[in-house]
Each structure stands twice: as C-alpha cells, then as structure tokens.
Structure 1
C-alpha cells in the first residue's frame, strides 16, 4: 500500500510538471517558432547565414560594401563600409535587397548589430514595399528621434518623408549587442508596426497604402552593421527577377 501511495504521488508530481511547467523545446525549434505569426501566414524565407553561400540571395546598391563574416553560428551578412551609391533623391545609401522575391502582407523577424560610432542618427534600416530605387518604404532605427531619424519613411521619387503615426525617443544600440527587430505589414489596412527587442510593445507605427507588393531588404542610411537570422512569414510569395542593383559575382 505504501508503495502504491508513493507511486501515485510520483505520478501526480510528474503530471503537475507536465501541465504546469512544460519542458522547453530545443533552441533550434524555438528559433523557428514565433508566437505572434498571424493566421494564414507561413514561413516564406529563412536565412541564418551559417551555411553555404547566402550572399547570392541578395542584390546590393554596392556589392563591395557587403560581406559574409564570422564562422559557424557567428556568421552574418555585414555592411563593412559605405556604399559607392548615389540615390536620385535623399534616401539611404546602403541596401542589401532580397533578390527575385516580392512580398505582400508579411511579418519579418531579424537580428541586427550596429557597428558604427555612437551619435544621434546611428542607425540600421529595414526596407519593404520596394518598387524600384526611387519608390519604397523603410524603417530607420536610430539612437535619437527627429524628422529624419528613428521613424518610418516613404521614398516616392522625392526625398524621404516620415509617415510614422507613433514612435519613441530612440533605441540603445550599445556595443557588440545583437537586437531582435520585428516588422509587421498589412497592405489593405496600410498598417506598419515595428518592434525592437520587446515583441509586445511597438516602438513605431505607421499607416500608408501608397505601395503594394514589393521587395524587402536590410541595411543602413549611412552607417555599418550586421544582419542575421532573417525570417519572413506571409500568406504568399511572388517571384520575379530583380533587375536593379548589383548581383554577387
């Protein structure tokens, strides 16, 4: 009888742990799952940069400004210098654009590390809805917010214009620190939301319907940094050859 009671107690404890404290999934599994992916979205693109020749997934405003650096799990796409590129209107210089892929509604999660000096406009950017070099949206994540920094912007054959309806005072990039960034877009509603480390509270919001399906990219206005662990979810992916910027040799 004592053995039966002991076994029942042990079983009860195991059941409590199983229900109340679920075992953590392996890190690799957790990395592939986002708790806030909308219904109807599936993983359309994923790139850790840990294997193969991932630089061939991109086209660049200046191919020589970008390299895959590091070894193993530390490998990343790195913007190592300023691009030799002059946009037709005032807009970011350094762009690594995902080639041959077009996205409508989407959720992006990506890890970014800023490698430049500290100053108010120290930044990294996400580009989306890109139609051509003179028409696109971008998110500018910077140390301090003003009319030209730390906002969501539109470039529509004219110098970039902020379209944020809400933003914060800035972000703290720190030194040698990776940050998780999330960008959500719904085309019909025009909604754009940006998260920085805290995936529950957006640091920026905007609403605009000027551009529809378009390309996605990463980079900086005029700084340097690293990009890693890109994941993009959406209802569908459209493929067409990208005819702008420079392809890897």
Structure 2
C-alpha cells in the first residue's frame, strides 16, 4: 500500500513537471513572421543606418535580410551600432526565433544582438551572442542613459560562429519566471535572471559584424501596437 502511494505521488509530481515544461508557451501566438523574400520586407523595420541593409538573393532558403556591417551611426552610450528595430509591435513576454549567418571577415569578436524593451536610443536591453565571453561580451545587457550594464554572471565560453554557416537562434523572455534564455543551435548558451517588468520594441543587429537574417518569427501571449520613431 505504501509503495503504491509513493508511486502515485511520484507520477503526480512527474506529471506536474511535464505539464509545466510543456505549457510554458501554450498561450503564445505568432505576432510577426518574415522570410525577407520581397524588397519591401525592409519597410517593417527602422535601421540605425538604412544604407547598410538590403535584401539578399542568398537566404535559407530563398532571400534574406543582409547587413553590410557598421555604418555612420554611433550609440550615445557605447552600445551596439548596428540595429534594426521592428516597427509598431511592443512586447513584454516573447519568443524570438531566426536563422543568422556571419557574412563578413572573421574578426576577433563575431557577435549578434537581439534587442528588447526598446524605448529610445538611450533605454533598451539586448542579448549578445558572441564568439568570446568576458565581462563586456556574451551576456544580457541593459542600457539606461549610461553604458551597457551586464545583467548576468560572466560566462566561461562564447559560441563558435562559423563564417558562411547558418545558425539557429532563439530567445525566450518571461516576466513570470523572471528569466531570459538564449539558445544557439538548440543549445542553451545564456540563462540570465530578469527582475524587470518592462516592455518595448524589439530588434536585432550587431556591434560590428556583417550578417544575414532569415526566417524571423516572433511569438507572444499579447502585444501592443504603437507608432514611434527610434532613430
């Protein structure tokens, strides 16, 4: 009888855990998706330097959004200088997925940034997925009228960006679990506590890398439509 009771309790706990894991994003719906197959796809975004962004013929598959590298824009607070902001959609909780390829020279620091909680050029957050990890890179950062503030512990290793190879990125932001998780080719590479309850626009970019983006998908339990200019 005691064994049966313990078995039942174990099964109940296991069921609860599985249910929690499988329903984390059950209320999320796709609020935006983009394959960048048309030239006018860029109309959905505002760029820090629009002259550096274009639609490329080589995507995964089909066409993609291409950035030629850093332009004339310089962040006022030493943040990333290559930024594309998705217009009109303000989010708090979200999952962002996309394919990314490094398309330029093999610099010492190859990286990709996913921006969120964007209010203006002086207030935003970003997750940086970088080829090396130290106190200033490969982490989640907040810019609040000052230089970027690291939110997580210093990581031991960055990721391996292979030039010309497509990589799958995914970021999960939950104000319920108070976490920000970033996956690189399905491997969890950043897991950072997030005590904020902010919302804002989202975007992507880099500190210095030439990049391509394809198959962008944004999911969320809710969103607000706003009209504002960042740059």
- Tell me whether the two structures share a fold, i.e. TM-score over 0.5: yes
Contact 2:132 2:138 in 1 (8 A): yes
Match of 2:227 in 1: 241
In 2, the alpha carbon distance for the partners of 1:195 and 1:153 equals 16
Contact 1:191 1:205 in 2 (8 A): yes
TM-score between both structures, scaled by the size of structure 1: 0.78
Contact 1:135 1:155 in 2 (8 A): yes
Give the match's secondary structure for 2:43. Answer: helix
Alignment of 1:25-174 (within 5 A): 38-51=25-38, 53-70=40-57, 73-165=61-153, 167-174=155-162
Q: CA RMSD in A?
A: 1.9
Contact 1:126 1:218 in 2 (8 A): yes
Larger radius of gyration: 1
Q: 1:236 to 1:189 in 2, by over 3 A?
A: same
Contact 1:166 1:205 in 2 (8 A): no
1:177 paired to 2:165: yes
Number of equivalent positions = 209
Match of 1:24 in 2: none
Q: How far off its partner does 1:228 sit? A: 0.7
Give the match's secondary structure for 1:229. Answer: strand
Match of 1:11 in 2: none
Give the match's secondary structure for 1:107. Answer: strand
Q: How far off its partner does 1:221 sit? A: 0.8
In 2, the alpha carbon distance for the partners of 1:212 and 1:189 equals 14
Q: How far off its partner does 1:58 sit? A: 0.1
Match of 1:232 in 2: 218
Structure 1: where are the runs of 5+ without partners? 1-34
Q: 1:75 to 1:54 in 2, by over 3 A?
A: same
Match of 1:213 in 2: 199
Q: How far off its partner does 1:52 sit? A: 5.5
Contact 1:121 1:142 in 2 (8 A): yes
Match of 2:18 in 1: none
Q: How far off its partner does 1:190 sit? A: 2.7
Runs of 4+ displaced beyond 6 Å: none
In 2, the alpha carbon distance for the partners of 1:210 and 1:87 equals 23
Give the match's secondary structure for 2:42. Answer: helix
Q: 1:47 to 1:77 in 2, by over 3 A?
A: same
In 2, the alpha carbon distance for the partners of 1:195 and 1:166 equals 17
In 2, the alpha carbon distance for the partners of 1:172 and 1:102 equals 31
Q: Deviations over 1:31-67 (max 9, x none)?
A: xxxx887111111110011236110000011111111
Q: 1:204 to 1:36 in 2, by over 3 A?
A: farther
Structure 2: where are the runs of 5+ without partners? 1-21
